[in-house]
């Protein structure tokens, strides 16, 4: 990923709940969309095998949630997380946003904007909370959590949006 290449505005966040539908979601991504490959619950060998399958199915930006060194070893385009060398990071509040900035992330996912199956008991930001939090940073802020295209339209402060289930509809 070159320094002049803009980061995607649309993202798929993977997780185990997708099962084999993961590849349906990947196939629905528009050109230029990015993927953050999470699948934290898998053992490393299975996770790597699935990552390689996603890499083969997706020509766009593919980030690995995990250490930058592992992302480089796996052939990812970068890493996701609140660690040094991460291209993207997630934040749920101002403290986590500051951590994302401190480690040099180039883009931040702010979540959850709306209730989500991924984190059913999480306190939601809502559109106003998302706008307020995104105004606290110079980083491009991507809305995550219960997001889809209609909800993203007109969301103040949003560089783009990311979803899990939205890519299956």
Token pair for 21: 């539908």
Distance CA 142, CA 113 (A): 10
Binned average pLDDT, 10 residues per bin, the chain of 169 residues? 74 93 97 96 95 97 97 97 96 97 97 87 93 98 96 96 93
Give the pLDDT confidence score for residue 119 in this predicted structure. Answer: 75
The model's pLDDT over 38-85, given as tens digits with 9 standing for 90+, comes to: 999 999 999 999 999 999 999 999 999 999 999 999 999 999 999 999
* C-alpha closest to that of 90 among 105, 77, 78, 72: 105
d(CA 38, CA 7): 18
Q: Give the pTM.
A: 0.94
On whether the CB atoms of residues 158 and 152 are closer than 8 A, the answer is yes
Residue 97 parent element (H or E)? helix 94-102
pLDDT recorded at residue 152: 96
Q: What is the pLDDT of residue 12?
A: 98
Sign, CA torsion 20/23/29/35: positive
Alpha-carbon dihedral of residues 117, 112, 109, 35, nearest 10 degrees? 10
Domains of the chain: residue spans and CATH: 10-168 (3.20.20.70)
């Amino acid at each position: 990923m070159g320094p002049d290449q803009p980061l995607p505005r649309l993202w798929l966040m993977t997780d185990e709940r997708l099962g084999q539908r993961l590849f349906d979601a990947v196939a629905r991504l528009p050109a230029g969309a990015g993927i953050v490959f999470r699948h934290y619950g898998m053992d490393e060998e299975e996770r790597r095998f699935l990552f390689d399958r996603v890499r083969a199915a997706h020509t766009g930006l593919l980030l690995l949630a995990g250490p930058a060194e592992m992302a480089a070893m796996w052939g990812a385009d970068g890493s996701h997380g609140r660690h040094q060398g991460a291209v993207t990071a997630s934040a749920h509040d101002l403290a986590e946003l500051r951590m994302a900035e401190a480690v040099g992330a180039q883009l931040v996912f702010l979540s959850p904007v709306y209730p989500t199956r991924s984190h059913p008991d999480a306190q939601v930001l809502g559109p106003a909370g998302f706008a307020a939090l995104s105004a606290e940073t110079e980083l491009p802020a991507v809305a995550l959590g219960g997001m889809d295209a209609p909800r993203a339209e007109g969301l103040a402060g949003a560089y783009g949006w990311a979803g899990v289930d939205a890519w299956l509809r």
